[in-house]
Amino acid sequence: MDTSNIEKKDRIEGCILGGAIGDALGYQCEFTSGIKEREYTTFEDDYGIFSDDTQMMLFTINGLLWGNTRGVIRGIAPTPDVSILLAYRDWYYTQQGLPPVENGVSWIDKVPAMRHRRAPGFTCLNALEGFDGNNVPTIKEPINQSKGCGCTMRVAPVGIFKNDLTEAIELGAKSAALTHGHPLGIISTAFMAGLIYEIIHDTAHQFNGQLHIAFEYTNQFATKNFHRQYQQDFTNIMRKAFQLSRNNAHDLANIKELGKGWVAEEAVAIAVYCCMRHQDDFADAVIASVNHDGDSDSTGILAGNIVGARLGIKAIPSYYIDHIEQKDLLLELADDLDSGVPFGTLDVPDDSDPWITKYLHRKPAKEYN
């Protein structure tokens, strides 16, 4: 299918809402043990509740836009990875039931749905518990040896935010290292950021080409930063995903070959497999990505991000759009990410402006339940 004419705004909304929908489809069966006894294709009670994956994805957006806004208004701001980390600290406080961080950066931490505990990952919680505001974990000084997929499921906004593929991959990697230190977690997250960048910004290529380019650049990054073995491991599982997507076996059998998705490289491989196999159908790709015996919400958000960005929001069946919780909040953050800071240093609007309300005064511009 030729997707080159889909507008950027539609792609970004498709990426963010698509991710939330995949997450919600997977969250309801994430902990169903054994192969699911039925196929999950709709939301329980027709109401899609997303998990910590979507919460953290939205905090990624909030952190990036806070940093940029502060840069425009004050002329100085933390680097984007630190802005993301500060937003994740805000998320950590919501998960502990604490009041908003005094010198925090987020407005979405006032939204009730962002404060609910939705099976948050322990690696993320532990990493953020140890953050004192100064000690920023890096690729070179890893915080732990985890490669759980919690570093990857929240990264799509980085690929939208950046205007350069290499920068998207590097920021994706740095954002992973904030909570996860294992090279394969970092490489897989870098690839996901690069792939989303390619799909959003490089519409001259078909999906195969976008995958190939993101993969090549990620390999260059991996070779520069880690022992060759990790680049090889990532290459092997991605090659397997590409090959499996071309056979005639059932999705469930193919996904089983790739693993369960609890670790980052398996989650990315499963999502990429589903999006290659069902390239032109949002529902088919996302349904395949959650119906397996593993980490369904994370494979669901990754597949939803990818196929949603490719096909745009208009290709997402209305059932999912109409029944996902917090549709307006998801759209608001997607559109904010699309527009970026909508003013310059010399024309900063007054305090009543919704952007200033949110990204300077940390208050929602309207009421959310």
- Pick the closer one to Mg ion by CB: 207 or 320: 320
What is the smallest separation between the CB atom of 302 and Mg ion, expressed in angstroms?
12
- Pick the closer one to Mg ion by CB: 53 or 109: 53
b/e string for 145-156 if b means 16 or more Cβ within 10 A? ebbbbbbbbbbb
- Pick the closer one to Mg ion by CB: 22 or 63: 22
- Comparing every residue's Cβ against Mg ion, the nearest one is 51
- Pick the closer one to Mg ion by CB: 52 or 198: 52
* Main-chain phi, psi angles of 244, to 5 degrees: -60, -35
Cα separation, 308 vs 298, in Å, equals 15
CA 71 to chain centroid: 24
Q: For residue 349, give the amino acid letter.
A: P
What is the smallest separation between the CB atom of 297 and Mg ion, expressed in angstroms?
4
Label residue 261 left, alpha or beta by phi (over 0 means left) and psi (-120 to 50 means alpha).
Answer: left
Residues binding Mg ion (CB under 5 A): 51-53, 297
- CA–CA distances in Å: residue 10 to residues 15, 57, 312, 315: 8, 18, 5, 9
What is the smallest separation between the CB atom of 314 and Mg ion, expressed in angstroms?
27
What is the chain's alpha carbon radius of gyration, rounded to the nearest angstrom? 19
What is the smallest separation between the CB atom of 52 and Mg ion, expressed in angstroms?
5
What is the smallest separation between the CB atom of 114 and Mg ion, expressed in angstroms?
14
- Pick the closer one to Mg ion by CB: 13 or 297: 297
Cα separation, 112 vs 94, in Å, equals 9
Q: Is the dihedral of CA 125, 129, 131, 136 positive or negative?
A: negative
CA proximity to 189, closest of 57, 55, 316: 57
- Pick the closer one to Mg ion by CB: 53 or 251: 53
Read off the DSSP letter of residue 101: P
What is the smallest separation between the CB atom of 29 and Mg ion, expressed in angstroms?
12
- Pick the closer one to Mg ion by CB: 49 or 187: 49
Cα separation, 257 vs 281, in Å, equals 23
What is the smallest separation between the CB atom of 316 and Mg ion, expressed in angstroms?
20
